[in-house]
A and B are shown apart, each in its own frame.
Chain A
């Protein structure tokens, strides 16, 4: 059985050394490279095609983790990236996930999780622990990008308009200023290509927005 070939990309040498030492304990994992930034990493993989996994830090000089993920996607590389980062905010996780990361680990991860992650990803599966998953989903749910013509907020405003509420009432209900509601309203009218409220309701019903 061939060993899992891993490259570590992180700008902190001590961290790289510690991680290398930790990974080396596993007999089935082999650290074949250790680089300080994205550029170095890309140089290595040009020469050495046989790389399975990269343990990738986000914050690095010259070329950061996000850019590396993008590059890997662009060149359709078979290398599976696992992010190992200090950032524990959902938006970082979500972005990495969207950009093609196979796993997301926090830097204070332990030996056991690290191994699990590498092994899981090596098999082609994704690895996100409970905390990461939760944060990621929380973030994504609150930032769901609607494919509809009008935004989530605008839909809310539209609903309230159709109920016959005044701008002031809508503003109070949605915790925004009257001017914000006015602007939303104007934007909805523009997007639906109508001129007044009556036409707006008609069109909204027609295209099943409400």
Chain B
């Protein structure tokens, strides 16, 4: 479930719940107040009518009593009053004795065993009952006899004789027991009504007075309210849904943006630079934190990239003590650095051993030629001198031997000048340059600024310097077609500087092919722990090599 749906459900359920509770409560409250109001109103109407009826009957009774004898009302032919049942004067309900069931309130006066009868005009009662002020559309006040039949005319059944309508309702039952009350129940029509009832007792007359109003009429405003409330609820919910939609967008957009950012980052892309609107402080902080994380990761990625390229001088600052990634990367770099240094040391050592071996072999061979073959040839020359008699033959043979000796000397010197061990690199280079000047057509100068006699240049360093010079001269002659070469070797307290110049056509320093003499020079400088700087253009090439001396 997405966060949008979740928030929508939570917000809207809350709103629906709140609005419903509010509506139901107010509805109930209203309904209760309405009930009370209606019943109170009905009660006052009923009380009024009760009083009116009581007054009416009282007046009628008094008027009846004041009548002179003989002035009494005529006995109605339709009413058969069982005189045996009437023992005392008073007012009676004679309706059951009316042949047509017409409501008849009778007054009886017994004087000296003489019965006088009078009747209260029903229309007078009817007028009171039909006074319907405050009774609304369906309101009705009516009288019920103790036999549970109606005494007054029903508004709803105008054609029926009242006494034929049975009213056996809860109100009537209660009232018959002398109780008065107000409540809602089904009336004689079977319709729910608000009803107020009480027993009317005057003399022997017992009538039940009910004032009622249809529930349906009473509840019209309630229903209106209900409809209004439902409308309101729906409107509020509708508005709240729309509002929540905006609210959700405000809340979830940054979260979604962050989600997208994090997703992208989780895929390993730390380079995204999308800017999002940030509305609240928390969101701003979140994005700042994310940006920091991104930056840190980017830093780590760049650092790893550098490490991947074996650029071990790259630096990286861990974000904090707990930045495990940063610290691990740094640890990795240090390990790699250590490894590379070790490897470099090993490589240089291997190279040094190789060069040393080579040099040793050359030295051996050179000495063998110089000190082994050479003396043998001179011995041969002496032999010729001593033993050959023929002068011409002697001369010729001696010349051949001399040439051979010279050749051997050159070969020996080319392999490795013994001078390096005996005199150092300075004098050796002086000799070397001298011999070159004699054999090739090139202007070559060597300036020896080494400390003659107490030079600190070791044999090994000297050999490397000599070989570097050989290589450089070789390149200048073979490839650069140089006319002038100047070599300067300057010895100082703690380093020796070799400066080499030629006016040849130069070469591209960056495109030195592997296996060429230059690589060899680089390697020799490296094993001497020295530095090299090359500058080359079409007219001039210089090499600056510095080798530290151990004091």
- The chain A residues found within 8 Å of chain B, CB to CB, are 10-12, 14-15, 17-19, 21-22, 25, 59, 86-92, 95, 107-108, 110-111, 138-139, 142-143, 145, 151, 153, 174-177, 179-180, 183-184, 187
Contacts and interface: CB of A to CB of B under 8 A. Distances in A.
Contact of A108 (B381, B447, B497, B546): B381
Given A86-B370, A175-B501, A143 B448 contact: yes
B422 A92 contact: yes
B537 to A, nearest CB: 14
Contact of B486 (A139, A175, A179): A175
Contact of B430 (A15, A143, A177, A179): A143
Interface string B419-430: 100110011101
A18 B418 contact: no
B382 A21 contact: yes
B168 interface: no
Max chain A Cβ within 10 angstroms of own Cβ: one of B375, B377, B423, B426: B375
12 contacts: A15-B378, A18-B385, A21-B383, A87-B418, A88-B409, A91-B423, A107-B405, A108-B378, A108-B381, A138-B434, A142-B448, A177-B544
B383 to A, nearest CB: 6
A153 B449 contact: yes
Contact of B376 (A14, A145, A187): A14
Interface in B451-507: 452-453, 486-488, 490, 492-493, 495, 497, 499, 501
A18 B546 contact: no
A22 B386 contact: yes
Contacts of A25: 386
A108 B405 contact: yes
Contacts of B533: 177
Contacts of B360: none
- Looking at chain B's contact residues, is the secondary structure mostly helix, strand, loop, or mixed? helix
Given A90-B431, A108-B405, A153 B374 contact: no
Contacts of B447: 153, 175
Given A15-B379, A143-B427, A86 B371 contact: yes
Given A88-B409, A175-B488, A145 B452 contact: yes
A91 B427 CA distance: 7
A89 B419 contact: yes
B295 to A, nearest CB: 42
Contact of A184 (B371, B386, B490): B490
B378 A89 contact: no
A19 B375 CA distance: 11
Contacts of A14: 375-376, 379
- Looking at chain A's contact residues, is the secondary structure mostly helix, strand, loop, or mixed? helix
A153 B452 contact: no
A190 to B, nearest CB: 10
A176 B533 CA distance: 12
B401 interface: yes
User: Sorted from nearest, which 4 A-B pairs have the closest CB atoms?
Assistant: A18-B382, A12-B375, A14-B379, A91-B427
A91 B419 contact: yes
Contacts of A15: 375-376, 378-379, 382
Nearest to B431: A89
Contact of B499 (A10, A86, A111, A180): A180
A110 B499 CA distance: 42
Contacts of B371: 11-12, 59, 86
Nearest to B418: A87
B72 interface: no
B126 interface: no
A135 to B, nearest CB: 8
Interface string B537-551: 000001010100000
